Amino acid sequence: MLSFLDEIWPHIAGGLTLLVTVTASGHAVLHKRDARSAVAWVGVIPSSGLYSISSLGLTASGGVPGPYAVIRVVCRVLSV
């Protein structure tokens, strides 16, 4: 059971992030009175989610391997 969760937790976290992003953007569109403000919030909300995901991947925090770890594994597999 735990090995299954180890494999699937990134997908669950990504799905929850997408759900919260879409919900927050929809809320901004429906409840903002000024159109420019709504458009600005719809631009800021998804970019903050993408920023957090990309920063996790680049810094290798939270157990997510960074780009250099991925390059090392590829080189090891290809015996370069």
> How do residues 27-63 score in pLDDT, each as one tens digit?
988 998 888 988 888 888 888 766 666 655 555 555 5
Residue 52 vs residues 3, 37, 48, 61: alpha-carbon distances, Å: 25, 23, 6, 11
Indicate the DSSP class of residue 64: -
What lies within 8 Å, CB to CB, of 38 at 6+ separation is: 28, 29, 32
At residue 50, the pLDDT reads 66
The pTM of the full predicted model, rounded to 2 decimals, is 0.56
Average of per-residue pLDDT values in the chain: 75
At residue 59, the pLDDT reads 53
Return the percentage of the chain with pLDDT > 70, whole number: 64
What lies within 8 Å, CB to CB, of 5 at 6+ separation is: none
State the DSSP H helix or E strand holding residue 18, giving kind and residue range, or none if neither: helix 2-31
